[in-house]
Structure 1
Amino acid sequence: MASGQSAVASLKPQHNSVEQFKYSNRVVLKSILGRSDAGLGLAGQRVVVGGWVKSFKEKAHKDATRAPAPAAVVPASRDLTCFEVLVSRTPFRIFARLVGKEVMSPPRPPPQQQQKLQQPEIVDAAPAPATVQTSVAYLRVNDGSCVANLQVVADTKMPLVRDMAVGVSILVEGVLEQRSEPGKQFVELKVENILHVGVVDSKNYPLANHSLSLETIRPFPHLRVRTTTVASITRIRSAISHATHQFFQKIGFIHVHMPIITTTNLQDCSKMFQVTTLFNKTDDMEKLSTVNDREAVNIEVVKAAIREKSSRIEELKRSSSNKEVLLAALEDLQKANELALQLGEQKRSTTFSVGKMDFSKDFFSCEAYLSMSARLHLESYACGLSSVYTVGPVFQANDSPSKKQLAEMWMVEVELAFAELEDVMNCAEEFLKFLCQSILENCPDDIKFLSRKIDKNCTGRLHSFISTSFARITYAEAVEHLQKIYKQPIIVYDYPKELKPFYVSVKNDRKTVSAFDIIAPKVGVLIRGSQKEERVDIITSRIQELGLPKEHYEWYLDLRRHGTVKHSGFSLAIEDLIMFAVGLQDIQDAIPFPRTSGHISA
């Protein structure tokens, strides 16, 4: 038995009912190909499937009716002698042994009878039908629900089949059949009706080639999810988001939405995106544009006049013109230079006044920014709900060319009231292990595919991450053992206070703070966390030390003035975890629409 047939025979069919998508009559491909029997139990079922064509091949197919046996040749009827009947039915050598002597060839019939035997009578028969040559289209179709593609077979004589190509979207109806030839899938769809074809411009379709690197498709974020690689990364990202809610909801955390526009500066304003509507003042911008255009024209005109007057003066100096004409020309040139200086000063003054914006006239009547983190606001809800978390975007205006930084990232941020540093470290470790376990359980095919495509060690790395206890060392020990390479995740804690933000709790030595980082192989820091400073006097002095505007943090200090408790939290960038899990080299491939310095394509 062939290996493909053995594999088919080893699969035990499941129930043969077709599971339709709840909000249409379409059957999701994962419900066919993701079954333990690879869809064999659904053979013979009529289904409607949709998706995008990954490959298209057209093959000739012989569909011929077998020709009947040749027309029987019947000799002309005559009476035969007993000797002729015996000879015709007995092999000659056997006949010779039977009679016991050498026998010559049987006697030939008379010429008249011999002529009759040489003219057989032909019985009429129907002519054999001609072989019919047809063409069949074989399409590999994927709807994004799984790694596997479904082979779809359609007769090229069907309407719209000729419009199909790589990238085309289709919706077809047909019958699932067991494939006669061995392959990765054991069922295929024999098309009976084509319900929809979304054509594609094959010449300009950027994903027409089968082998495309992540870097090649990066400029097309709106299309790249149609590749198996990016689709797998996206399904893993979805599993991480789902597992995040599952983990925290199960242990009693409350999910809250935090603002992304803030007046609070966490670290450095130069790294924050400013939010303003001042540049939308159409009248002011038009006036400014008109003034600038007019001044630019005036300056150019004056400069041209100065060049012309200077040339004229040189000519007068070389000629025998009288001194009065020369003096008049010199005076005219001086006036032109003075005018040029005035226009230059006016332009600098206008530019300065535009740069000094009056934020009292802005939308919020003050300076506002896109948030770099929600953790300060999250503390306020932890001080009323005890244990909370949020999932949302954060922004950083960092123009570093690093492959591990984005201007926009998605962050899981957690805050626990009545919790100290040890408590939050335990929570963070268990959370990370739960996410890795969820990836392996819910995306096994995606991880298997990406281990072949990107990093062969990603599966083993996830298993190791789950089964290994995180080593815990202080920052001082980490520096001391800087040359040692850790092959397991580690937690570094007790950082010098100069390395961490103002809100981190200061330890009794007044030199270190209760902060920690979880560092993993391949990606570096995965989680940053800390115990927050609950003492109002210490956090006030820290704000002053760093030169931060205290008026912006009065609401934050109120949390310490009114019913303060010890509380701790941590944050995880989803893109960093995806890089770790999959083995990606560039963080732009871990997010659907990457935003980096100098790049925003959609």
Structure 2
Amino acid sequence: MASSEPAPVDTPVTLSKYTNRVTLKTVFERNDGGMGFAGRRIVIGGWVKSSREIRKDPAPAPAPEAVETKDVSCVEVLQSRIPLIRSIMKVFGGGGEYRIREKLDSAVQKLPQPSVSFLQLSDGSCVQSLQVVVDSELARPCQVMPTGTCILAEGILQQVSLKGKHVIELKADKVLHLGTVDQNKYPLSRKRLPLELLRDCCHFRTRTTTVASVMRIRNALTQATHSFFQDNEFLFVQVPVITSTVFEECSKRFLVTTVVPKDGSADGISLEAIKASIKEKSKQIEELRRTESNKEAVVAAVQDLKKTTELVSKLEAKGKPKSGTSLEEDRIDLCQDFFSSQMYLTASGRLHLESQACALGNVYTYGPRFRAEKSESKKSLIEMWMFETEIAFSALEDAMECAEDLLKFVCKYVLEKSAEDVNFLSKRVDKTIVENLQFMTSGSLEKISYTEAVEILKQVTEKKFESNIEWGVPLSDEHTSYLVDEIYKRPVIIYNHPKEVKPFYVRLNDDAKTVAAFDLLLPKVGTLVRGSQSEERLNILSSRIEELGLSKQEYEWYLDLRRHGAVKNSGFSLMLDSLVLFATGLSDIRDVVPFPISPGKASA
């Protein structure tokens, strides 16, 4: 535990490696708020969050020096006392000495009044900001005060000169770097913007305290998940992002191609996608106008909408067949493509990961997964970041136990390592964040079968569901939300799903109707983990592939794993973005991703 006593003058301050500066986290992580480092000379770098200027009292005028007296002529008296005569003397060339004196007086009056700028500086290492005092002789206030200004300054840490929430400040005596801001164009210059509008400037939104806290918690959860697997002797491996493997539960996939049709549009991109983008942009413009955002942002959004509308018109015109030709003649032969067969962005790495588990034992991977599903849901994304694992010589129960242990570990980790950020979001976003995380570290999960879940939901009378509850169909979001949020009010694991709603490779149960799969659901978030035990029996796996009409040739490599040294194994996929949503208390998953992608719109 850090001492609250002031540190000796020779106490070293830890520098940020490779940059020769001190992070604010190093200063504020002490129990004394950094006062122990008072008197130390350090270099601080960051971005201005807010500022104020205080004028200095003008210096007293120096006492007049004794000068030799001499006779003063009547002309000089009149010239200095009577404005009219003074003007006449100027016209006729007189009063040279007075003109010089008048110019000097005017120049002195134009000099800016000395002042001190008090800057609240943040460097992204913690929630707190440091007050940096910059004298106007060192840097002009108009340069250092605008929100977003980047400054690297050297000075002495001292007790604050003005009362505030901090006990220490930096009295700068050198400005080593200054990145100025155009206040009229910088989106964060004005009032605080809501999270949905910040999505329009993802390259800047991390400079806000809320989004910065979310990103630090995301980092902690990522690190915690890696630590859990490494501590439990899982081997980290990589799986391909581009694959020919098709999962029947994901009907829409992103095609990877280098072939461009003659009309100039990418193969597979429809006008519907661009029109959806137009609707999204129109909503953004309405929101900007409602919130009275700066005029530049509105004008830019309107221009962007106009260009997109023009693009639709051009594509619609090009899409019409030319006279004497057909659409078939206008298409490009896919044999010219980079790959010899159709390839897609992967929706899951489980199959490839299984091949590694069949040789290395327990393995896991981490990376983006893609699903071309147009959804307005606040709980799902087109590009999802996932941790996936396969456990050799294990069954479904083992995978469920591993998922539960992992969830408890990461929640405890973020409570310990990111306490400041969690507490900040608890005050700013959701007061129940800490309580929810603490419950996960010690509480138990409810486990029910799919059949039990259907029966429970059928008995609900106080709520009218939009979709009917029938055995054999996937549970909708409203069904799972009601189970988790209203009935059990805790995380729930639903296992043994109908074979029709799960992938072909999931192990068939003895009833021949259900498969060994599970979903782990969290309150307010929905599905966090999807897991299963893989089918190790070659004949049943082959039958499932034929039953679903999949290409057996495409999965020969996967069938080989059953022909040569088959092993029972299970695993799961954990959606990191959903985990961050749970840990931060936010309501829209697009706010916990650095650069979210949605139908018709990409962040950057």
Question: TM-score, normalising length from structure 1?
Answer: 0.75
Aligned to 2:547: 545
**Match for residue 453 of structure 1 among 428, 452, 455:** 428
Aligned to 1:154: 134
**Match for residue 199 of structure 1 among 180, 185, 197:** 180
Matched, 1:421 2:396: yes
Per-residue deviation at 1:169? 0.3
**Match for residue 141 of structure 1 among 111, 114, 121:** 121
Amino acid at match of 1:175: I
Moved more, 483-492 or 165-174: 483-492
Between the aligned partners of 1:41 and 1:354, the Cα distance in structure 2 is: 74
Per-residue deviation at 1:133? 7.3
Question: TM-score, normalising length from structure 2?
Answer: 0.74
Per-residue deviation at 1:213? 1.1
SS in 1 for 2:412: helix
**Match for residue 388 of structure 1 among 363, 385, 388:** 363
Aligned to 1:45: 40
Between the aligned partners of 2:434 and 2:164, the Cα distance in structure 1 is: 25
**Match for residue 34 of structure 1 among 29, 46, 49:** 29
- Whose Rg is larger? 1
SS in 1 for 2:201: coil
Give percent identity, aligned residues only.
51
Amino acid at match of 2:127: V
Per-residue deviation at 1:345? 7.6
Matched, 1:570 2:565: no
Between the aligned partners of 1:228 and 1:539, the Cα distance in structure 2 is: 51
**Match for residue 512 of structure 1 among 501, 514, 524:** 514
Aligned to 1:111: none
Amino acid at match of 1:200: V
Query: What whole-Å deviation, never above 9, does each CA across 1:61-91 have from its counterpart, x for those lacking one?
Result: 34879x9xxxxxxxxxxxxxxxxxxxxxxxx
Per-residue deviation at 1:285? 6.5
Per-residue deviation at 1:181? 4.3
Aligned to 1:443: 418
Matched, 1:21 2:1: no
Between the aligned partners of 1:13 and 1:447, the Cα distance in structure 2 is: 28
Note closer, same or farther for the CA distance 1:354–1:463 as it changes in structure 2 (3 Å cut): farther
Per-residue deviation at 1:586? 1.1
Query: What whole-Å deviation, never above 9, does each CA across 1:32-68 have from its counterpart, x for those lacking one?
Result: 0122221010000000000000012101234879x9x
Runs of 4+ in 1 over 6 A off after TM superposition: none
Per-residue deviation at 1:17? 2.3
Query: What whole-Å deviation, never above 9, does each CA across 1:491-510 have from its counterpart, x for those lacking one?
Result: 11111111111111001110
Note closer, same or farther for the CA distance 1:347–1:431 as it changes in structure 2 (3 Å cut): farther
Aligned ranges for residues 178-257 of structure 1 at < 5 Å? 178-257=159-238
Aligned to 2:290: none
Aligned ranges for residues 13-412 of structure 1 at < 5 Å? 13=6, 16-62=11-57, 134-164=114-144, 165-267=146-248, 270-279=251-260, 349-355=325-331, 358-412=333-387
Per-residue deviation at 1:465? 1.4
Between the aligned partners of 1:374 and 1:179, the Cα distance in structure 2 is: 54
Per-residue deviation at 1:160? 4.5
Between the aligned partners of 2:130 and 2:18, the Cα distance in structure 1 is: 21
Is 2:53–2:141's contact at 8 Å kept on the other side of the alignment?
A: no
Between the aligned partners of 1:237 and 1:545, the Cα distance in structure 2 is: 41
Query: What whole-Å deviation, never above 9, does each CA across 1:389-427 have from its counterpart, x for those lacking one?
Result: 000001110111212221111100010110001111110
Note closer, same or farther for the CA distance 1:437–1:13 as it changes in structure 2 (3 Å cut): farther
SS in 1 for 2:598: coil
Q: RMSD value over aligned CA atoms?
A: 2.4
Is 1:179–1:186's contact at 8 Å kept on the other side of the alignment?
A: yes
Moved more, 55-64 or 411-420: 55-64
Note closer, same or farther for the CA distance 1:35–1:350 as it changes in structure 2 (3 Å cut): farther
Note closer, same or farther for the CA distance 1:269–1:409 as it changes in structure 2 (3 Å cut): closer
Note closer, same or farther for the CA distance 1:346–1:208 as it changes in structure 2 (3 Å cut): closer
Is 2:250–2:347's contact at 8 Å kept on the other side of the alignment?
A: no
Aligned length: 470
Is 1:160–1:194's contact at 8 Å kept on the other side of the alignment?
A: no
Is 1:273–1:370's contact at 8 Å kept on the other side of the alignment?
A: yes
Note closer, same or farther for the CA distance 1:430–1:160 as it changes in structure 2 (3 Å cut): same
Per-residue deviation at 1:224? 0.5
Aligned to 1:113: none
Note closer, same or farther for the CA distance 1:354–1:401 as it changes in structure 2 (3 Å cut): farther
Note closer, same or farther for the CA distance 1:64–1:33 as it changes in structure 2 (3 Å cut): farther
Is 2:51–2:117's contact at 8 Å kept on the other side of the alignment?
A: yes
Note closer, same or farther for the CA distance 1:534–1:152 as it changes in structure 2 (3 Å cut): same
Structure 1 stretches lacking a partner, 5+ long: 1-9, 68-131, 289-343
Is 2:199–2:603's contact at 8 Å kept on the other side of the alignment?
A: no
Between the aligned partners of 1:183 and 1:346, the Cα distance in structure 2 is: 72
Per-residue deviation at 1:461? 0.7
Between the aligned partners of 1:285 and 1:481, the Cα distance in structure 2 is: 54
Aligned to 1:81: none
